[in-house]
């Protein structure tokens, strides 16, 4: 009974009672907690509304400036695009003029009808006719491989990627098999063309190619296809397909069209003259 009496007489813990008394003595009672929380929430909402209002006002002020800058950028892009189009048209006109002058020069030098053949063989003239279409592509799960040269031992790529040396062998094999004109991804090859690599990219005359690589070769389609596939370079390509998953397909075409090469200018060095070798005293 004494325990129940004590609990009823002291329902509030002594510690809580002491804290309440201390707060009342220090004047900390003040406003109830609920009212203080409401005032804090109201102040926060007012501050947030002020921030949003200021931001909207700044955006409204800056909108015309942004729109003006965007329009100026669009105008510059349009101007540069027009200039690029004019330059491209000028290049086409100059290329046609150069081709006409080459044909005239060959005729004047006794070339006659051979001028057209020389233009075709040099890559300066667009050509069309029967031939073969050879598509070479990376393996489906091609990787970049690890450190070192993956071809040091086998002579092939164990990464499933087509390399510049593969393309060199394929092109040389087509030439040796009787191709009269060749293009890769629409780019005409000439005696001056170089096939190189920059990282994992294949470059033809310093222009990067993107797989799949489509090679078009003008010639006797059936004979060209047969001779190439039986050649050492054709067997090399077949080995890449069988061992490393590089995808290839070759088909005979009744009509192919190859563009002219963009440039067939030959640059040569000139010996120094006797006058230029003499120095001044």
Domain that holds residue 133: 129-144+156-258
pLDDT at 229: 94
Q: How far is CA 39 from CA 31, 42, 50, in A?
A: 11, 5, 17
**pLDDT 10s per residue in the chain (281 long)?**
565 566 566 555 666 667 667 766 665 554 455 777 777 778 888 888 888 888 877 777 777 777 788 888 998 999 999 999 999 889 888 877 876 776 676 665 555 556 566 666 666 678 889 999 999 999 887 754 444 343 343 444 456 889 999 999 999 999 999 999 999 998 898 878 889 988 778 998 888 888 999 999 999 999 999 999 999 999 999 999 998 889 999 999 999 998 887 765 555 556 766 654 544 43
In a domain, 219, yes or no: yes
The CATH number of residue 212's host domain is 3.30.70.1880
Hey, how many other C-beta atoms are within 10 angstroms of the C-beta on 179?
Answer: 22
**Which alpha helices (DSSP H) does the chain contain, by range?**
2-9, 14-25, 33-108, 114-122, 164-176, 221-230, 232-244, 274-277
3-state secondary structure of 209: strand
In a domain, 241, yes or no: yes
* In contact, 210 and 138? CB cutoff 8 Å: no
* In contact, 136 and 249? CB cutoff 8 Å: no
- Give Cβ neighbours of residue 226 (< 8 Å, ≥ 6 apart): none
Hey, how many other C-beta atoms are within 10 angstroms of the C-beta on 221?
Answer: 20
Rounded to whole angstroms, the Cα distance separating 204 from 95 reads 20
In a domain, 137, yes or no: yes
Number of domains observed in the structure of the chain: 1
In a domain, 17, yes or no: no
In a domain, 136, yes or no: yes
pLDDT at 101: 77
């Amino acid at each position: 009974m004494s325990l129940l009496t004590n609990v009823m007489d002291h329902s509030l813990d002594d510690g809580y009672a002491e804290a309440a008394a201390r707060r009342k003595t220090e004047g900390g009672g003040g406003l109830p907690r609920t009212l203080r929380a409401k005032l804090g929430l109201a102040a926060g909402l007012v501050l947030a509304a002020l921030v949003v209002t200021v931001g909207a006002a700044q955006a409204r002020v800056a909108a015309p400036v942004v729109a003006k800058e965007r329009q100026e950028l669009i105008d510059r892009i349009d101007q540069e695009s027009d200039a690029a189009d004019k330059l491209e048209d000028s290049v086409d006109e100059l290329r046609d003029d150069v081709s006409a002058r080459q044909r005239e020069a060959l005729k004047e030098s006794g070339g006659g009808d051979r001028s057209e053949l020389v233009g075709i063989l040099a890559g300066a003239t667009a050509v069309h006719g029967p031939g073969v279409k050879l598509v070479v592509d990376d393996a489906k799960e091609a990787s970049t491989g690890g450190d070192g040269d993956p071809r040091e031992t086998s002579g092939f790529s164990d990464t499933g990627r087509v390399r510049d040396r593969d393309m060199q062998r394929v092109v040389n094999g087509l030439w040796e098999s009787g191709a009269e004109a060749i293009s890769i991804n629409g780019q005409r090859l000439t005696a001056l063309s170089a096939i190189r690599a920059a990282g994992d990219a294949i470059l033809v005359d310093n222009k990067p190619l993107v797989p799949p690589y489509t090679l078009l070769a003008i010639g006797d389609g059936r004979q060209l296809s047969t001779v190439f596939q039986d050649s050492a370079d054709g067997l090399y390509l077949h080995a890449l397909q069988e061992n490393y998953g590089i995808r290839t397909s070759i088909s005979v075409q009744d009509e192919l069209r190859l563009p002219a090469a963009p440039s067939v200018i030959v640059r040569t060095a000139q010996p120094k003259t006797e006058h230029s070798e003499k120095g001044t005293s």
